[in-house]
Amino acid sequence: MATNTKKVIILIDGQNLYYNLKEMGVVEKDIQWDKLFCDIIDEQSDELVRTYWFRAQKLLDAYFTPDNIKRYFIYKNHRTHCDNFKNKNFSLIPKQVLTEMEQFCKETESWIKEAQRKFNSLEYIYDQLSSDYEDIEIVKKGVIKIDPYEKRYTGEKGVDIALAVKMISLSIDKKCDKIILISGDYDYAEAIKFVKDNMTKIHIVKLHKGVPPRSKGMSKDLTYLADKVINIYEADIKDKYLKKP
pLDDT, one tens digit per residue, over 74-120 is 999 999 999 999 999 999 999 999 999 999 999 999 999 999 999 99
pTM across the whole model:
0.89
**pLDDT per position as a tens digit, 11-21:** 999 999 998 99
Distance CA 134, CA 50 (A): 8
On whether the CB atoms of residues 119 and 144 are closer than 8 A, the answer is yes
Distance CA 141, CA 161 (A): 9
**pLDDT per position as a tens digit, 141-186:** 999 999 999 999 998 999 999 999 999 999 999 999 999 999 988 8
Q: By three-state DSSP, how is residue 218 classified?
A: coil
Distance CA 181, CA 189 (A): 11
Q: From its phi and psi, is residue 132 left (phi > 0), alpha (psi between -120 and 50) or beta?
A: alpha
Would the pLDDT of 213 be above 90? no
